């Protein structure tokens, strides 16, 4: 396995925390079902968050959300540690190794099983999952071995957006129903000049390569791991076909490995340089700010990637309580608050994210955001990454394997078999 | 007696009847001028390539949001949005972040210059048992990847006895975490600086120190007043590199602090980015401001800096 900053810190940090977590686990960790906190809350709650890190996010959290919580719980104070996703794992890992982890941790989808399995997270009362109106599917990433460890704060989904005007111009009336159709349409809509693509049929690589391949895997009816999280499934036929599908788009000339929306530049779909693109729901905000005419004129459409199964990739951020929290009752209550409809709505508005609560489908925010509305309507088709306690060691190695296959350095099967070996090693190290 | 005939002088005119020797000289000069011209062109092209990212940063920092969404925006923004700079400064307490970065960078620079130069001097000029082994250890330390040191360093900082509520065994509190100690001490002295100083001190003639010793100058006096003034390029190089790496450090300050009033400018710049969106014009305005001290420092010390790099054989 290649030593990277993240893989090294994950391995060292998570293994070193295993011992200390066992020795110092808090009152809600370990035996017995978790109970709902009752009584008067007080004391300080520390929060580690990767989703309020911008200036606007900080203002939202500190001037709106926390003061609203303190109206009900005036004796609870907060200490917030802002970090972005690129350094969240390092921050968590070092904090865990040093025993200074925050009371409330906001983690990504796929992160719950690794940290729950090591005793880092406190179990939440099962009833937290009921009554709020969470779509049942979005709670999957919050659970480990049937127990609830987190609640979704925001969802970030991936699907396909396309230019309706380009489709109409070519006389294409409906989005593709399977990969064969998609490859055909992409090829038809591609334009080249001087040996270079001037308009790609599809911009498939502007989202994270790992997520792009996983999304194709889910749309092909595949899974990353089995139900126990101990058996690798991604190198079976569905995964190989998914990778071959992405590589096939390059072979067809419908896109190129280096054809993507560069940082700081508008999306290729936005400028009309791509007819279709794998997108994140938050891209709607970018288009709204930079090219509002595309939305006004109804030029952007959406559809789910589908080969054998219609699927939507579901990422997001979850709120959980540290097993070593010195103020578990207040932390637990705050986690429930972060996942309440009004807080979710504010957080989603700030980030362009998708609310996990079906009732919010009728809110103005969802109604006025085409991508978010599309995602909310398709939550029953959402599939999440992760699913194994070894995920933190595996996730950073996926991109390299996908890249190998896409650049022709290995066949899809070879790249995924090598990735499976790495994953099996990581799973083999689990206790 | 030997008679040496004066060489025949080349005619002064360079007309069609000019001597072959003069023509060769002119050709040679012309070729030299041509080569110099080519070199200048190549250097201008390279300098331009190096400047492009900075120009792009400045131009982007002045663009209105509408131009950021264009497929082919004009090279020069249609309307210069100077307010991006004031908006960037309003978005976060950049004065505090810049102050913190300055304090840390200056502290690292001073401590590294003082401690590493003394260590380098000792390793180069003082004979003591184990000096080769210690030098080997410094060189070995250079080869340890930064990220492999983060967790152990973090644990040392966290369990520092008698600080941050810790007892003698480093338990009970948070040690140096979320304090100036954690920001300054762990990165204060670098093995690279010790190695660089050692190389420079070793190159200064021994006679200088011996003469001073005969004059009764103490060993510290020889180090401070006689030898160290001879290695100004090393001092400038270490100072600039230390300041630069300290100013640009992102991960360590982020890991060991949680209070906003201890955060540094590189962490502060992340306020313009979240996972889903980036405010490019503000980010570039903030980055341009954050880059200014480094550019000024380089311009001031570039002669010494280049000397230092040449001497140490690094690039």
DSSP string, A62-81: IIIIHHHHHHH-TTEEEEEE
SS3 A144: strand
Distances (CA, A) of B20 to A240, B10, B106: 76, 9, 63
Q: By the 8 A CB rule, do B266 and B249 touch? A: yes
pLDDT of A21 reads: 45
User: Which residue did the predictor score with more confidence, B252 or B76?
Assistant: B252
The CA-based dihedral angle spanning residues B155, B161, B166, B167, taken in that order and rounded to the nearest 10 degrees? 130
Instruction: From chain A, pick out residues whose CB is under 8 angstroms from the CB of B60.
Output: 264
Interface touch B71/A352, C-beta < 8 Å: no
Name residues 290-319 of chain A within 8 A of B (Cβ): 290-291
Interface touch B274/A8, C-beta < 8 Å: no
DSSP E strand boundaries for A24-144: 43-49, 76-82, 104-108, 143-144
Distances (CA, A) of A333 to A36, A37, A42, A80, A323: 8, 7, 11, 16, 14
Instruction: From chain A, pick out residues whose CB is under 8 angstroms from the CB of B275.
Output: 50-51, 84-85, 156, 282, 351
Q: By the 8 A CB rule, do B84 and B282 touch? A: yes
pLDDT of A29 reads: 43
Q: By the 8 A CB rule, do A369 and A375 touch? A: no
Q: By the 8 A CB rule, do A107 and A317 touch? A: yes
Instruction: From chain A, pick out residues whose CB is under 8 angstroms from the CB of B258.
Output: 46, 79, 81
pLDDT of B315 reads: 44
Q: Model confidence over A352-375: pLDDT tens digits?
A: 999 998 889 999 999 999 999 999
Distances (CA, A) of A191 to A262, A279, A325: 20, 21, 57
At A170, give phi and psi (nearest 5°): -90, 0
CA distance B43 to chain A (A): 29
Residue A318 β-bridge partners: A107, A152
| Cα atoms found within 13 Å of the Cα of residue A105, Cβ hemisphere only | 31
pLDDT of A313 reads: 97
Q: Model confidence over A303-337: pLDDT tens digits?
A: 999 999 999 999 999 999 999 999 999 999 999 99
Place of tokens 């660089």: B196
Rounded to the nearest integer, the mean pLDDT of chain B is 85
Q: Model confidence over B77-95: pLDDT tens digits?
A: 888 888 888 888 888 788 8
Closest-CA residue of chain A to B257: A81
Q: Model confidence over A13-49: pLDDT tens digits?
A: 444 444 444 444 444 444 456 777 767 899 999 999 9
- Tell me whether strands A143-144 and A300-303 are parallel, antiparallel or unpaired: unpaired
Q: Is the pLDDT of residue B309 over 90?
A: no
Those residues whose C-beta lies under 8 Å from the C-beta of residue A232, and which sit 6 or more positions away, are A224, A225, A420, A423, A424, A427
pLDDT of B295 reads: 82
Closest-CA residue of chain B to A86: B275
pLDDT of B17 reads: 53
- With an 8 Å Cβ cutoff, is A100 touching chain B? yes
Instruction: From chain B, pick out residues whose CB is under 8 angstroms from the CB of A263.
Output: 278
- With an 8 Å Cβ cutoff, is B177 touching chain A? yes
Q: By the 8 A CB rule, do B195 and B117 touch? A: no
ipTM over 0.90: no
Q: How far is CA B108 from the centre of its chain?
A: 12
Rounded to the nearest integer, the mean pLDDT of chain A is 90
Interface touch A353/B276, C-beta < 8 Å: yes
pLDDT of B92 reads: 79
pLDDT of A161 reads: 97
Q: Looking at residues A213-236, what average pLDDT do you find? A: 96
For A288, counting Cβ atoms within 10 Å of its Cβ (0-12 exposed, 13-18 middle, 19+ buried), the class is middle
Interface residue of A15, A54, A272, A318 to substitute, partner B, most B CBs within 10 Å: A54
Instruction: From chain A, pick out residues whose CB is under 8 angstroms from the CB of B69.
Output: 266, 270, 289-291
Find, among A125, A158, A159, the residue nearest to A331 by Cα.
A125
Find, among A297, A332, A335, A302, the residue nearest to A319 by Cα.
A335
pLDDT band of residue A9 (cuts 50, 70, 90) is: low
Closest-CA residue of chain A to B284: A264
Q: Chain A to chain B, count of Cβ pairs less than 8 Å apart? A: 103
Q: Is the pLDDT of residue B181 over 70?
A: yes
Residue A310 β-bridge partners: A306
- Tell me whether strands A196-203 and A274-280 are parallel, antiparallel or unpaired: parallel
Confidence (pTM): 0.81
pLDDT of A338 reads: 96
Helix axes B94-111, B232-248, angle to 10 degrees: 150
Q: How far is CA B188 from the centre of its chain?
A: 15
pLDDT of A4 reads: 52
Residue A277 β-bridge partners: A161, A203
Instruction: From chain B, pick out residues whose CB is under 8 angstroms from the CB of A81.
Output: 258
With a pLDDT cut of 90, the percent of chain A lying above it is 76
pLDDT band of residue B20 (cuts 50, 70, 90) is: low
Whole-angstrom Cα distance, residue A125 to residue A86?
30
């Amino acid at each position: 396995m290649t030593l990277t900053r993240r893989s090294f810190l994950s391995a060292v940090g998570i293994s070193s925390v295993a011992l200390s977590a066992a020795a110092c686990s808090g009152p809600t960790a370990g035996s017995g079902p978790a109970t709902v906190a009752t009584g008067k809350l007080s004391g300080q709650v520390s929060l580690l968050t990767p989703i309020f890190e911008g200036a606007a996010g900080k203002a939202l959290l500190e001037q709106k959300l926390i003061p609203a919580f303190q109206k009900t719980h005036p004796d609870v104070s907060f200490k917030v540690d802002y970090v972005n996703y690129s350094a969240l794992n390092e921050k968590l890992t070092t904090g865990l190794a040093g025993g200074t982890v925050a009371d409330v941790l906001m983690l990504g989808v796929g992160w719950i099983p690794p940290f729950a399995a090591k005793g880092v997270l406190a179990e939440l009362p099962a009833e937290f999952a009921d009554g709020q109106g969470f779509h049942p599917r979005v709670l999957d990433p919050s659970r480990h071995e049937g127990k609830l460890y987190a609640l979704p704060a925001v969802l970030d989904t991936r699907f396909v957006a396309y230019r309706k005007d380009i489709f109409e111009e070519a006389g294409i009336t409906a989005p593709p129903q399977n990969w064969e159709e998609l490859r055909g349409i992409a090829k038809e809509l591609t334009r080249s000049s001087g040996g270079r693509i001037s308009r790609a049929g599809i911009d498939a690589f502007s989202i994270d390569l790992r997520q792009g391949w996983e999304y194709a895997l889910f749309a092909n009816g595949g899974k990353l791991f089995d139900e126990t999280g101990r058996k690798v499934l991604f190198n079976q036929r569905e995964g190989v076909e998914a990778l071959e599908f992405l590589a096939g788009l390059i072979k067809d000339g419908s896109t190129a490995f280096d054809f993507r929306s560069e940082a700081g530049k508008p999306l290729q779909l936005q400028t009309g340089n791509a007819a279709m693109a794998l997108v994140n729901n938050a891209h709607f905000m970018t288009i709204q700010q930079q090219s509002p005419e595309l939305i006004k004129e109804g030029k952007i459409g959406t559809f789910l990637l589908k080969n054998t199964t219609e699927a939507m990739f579901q990422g997001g951020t979850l709120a959980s309580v540290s097993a070593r929290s010195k103020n578990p009752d207040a932390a637990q209550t705050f986690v429930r608050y972060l996942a309440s409809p009004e807080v979710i709505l504010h957080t989603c508005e700030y980030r362009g994210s998708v609310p996990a609560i079906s009732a919010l489908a009728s809110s103005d925010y969802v109604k006025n955001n085409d991508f978010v509305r599309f995602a909310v309507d398709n939550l029953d088709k959402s599939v999440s990454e992760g699913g194994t306690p070894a995920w933190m060691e595996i996730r950073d190695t996926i991109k390299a394997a996908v890249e190998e296959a896409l650049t022709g350095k290995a066949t899809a099967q070879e790249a995924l078999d090598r990735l499976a070996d790495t994953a099996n090693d990581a799973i083999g190290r689990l206790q | 007696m030997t008679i040496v005939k004066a060489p025949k002088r080349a005619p002064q005119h360079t007309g069609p009847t000019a001597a072959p020797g003069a023509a060769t000289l002119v050709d040679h000069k012309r070729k030299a001028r041509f080569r110099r011209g080519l070199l200048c062109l190549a250097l201008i092209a390279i300098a331009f390539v190096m400047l492009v990212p900075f120009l792009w940063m400045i131009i982007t920092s002045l663009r209105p949001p509408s131009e950021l969404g264009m497929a082919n925006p004009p090279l020069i923004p249609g309307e210069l949005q100077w307010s991006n700079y004031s908006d960037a400064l309003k978005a976060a307490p950049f004065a505090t972040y810049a102050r913190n970065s300055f304090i840390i960078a200056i502290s690292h620079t001073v401590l590294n210059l003082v401690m590493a130069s003394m260590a380098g001097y000792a390793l180069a000029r003082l004979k003591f048992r184990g000096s080769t082994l210690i030098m080997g250890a410094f060189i070995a330390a250079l080869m340890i990847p930064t990220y492999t040191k983060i967790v152990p360093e973090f644990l040392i900082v966290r369990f520092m006895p008698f600080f941050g509520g810790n007892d003698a065994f480093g338990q009970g509190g948070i040690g140096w975490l979320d304090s100036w100690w954690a920001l300054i001490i762990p990165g204060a002295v670098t093995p690279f600086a010790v190695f660089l100083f050692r190389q420079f001190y070793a190159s200064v003639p021994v006679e200088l120190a011996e003469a001073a010793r005969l004059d009764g100058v103490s060993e510290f006096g020889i180090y401070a007043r006689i030898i160290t003034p001879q290695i100004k390029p090393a001092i400038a190089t270490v100072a600039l590199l230390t300041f630069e790496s300290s100013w640009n450090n992102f991960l360590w300050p982020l890991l060991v602090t949680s209070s906003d009033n201890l955060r540094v400018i590189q962490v502060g710049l992340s306020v313009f980015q979240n996972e889903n969106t980036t405010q490019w014009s503000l980010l570039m305005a903030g980055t341009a401001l954050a880059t200014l001290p480094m550019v000024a420092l380089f311009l001031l010390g570039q002669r010494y800096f280049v000397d230092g790099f040449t001497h140490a054989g690094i690039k």
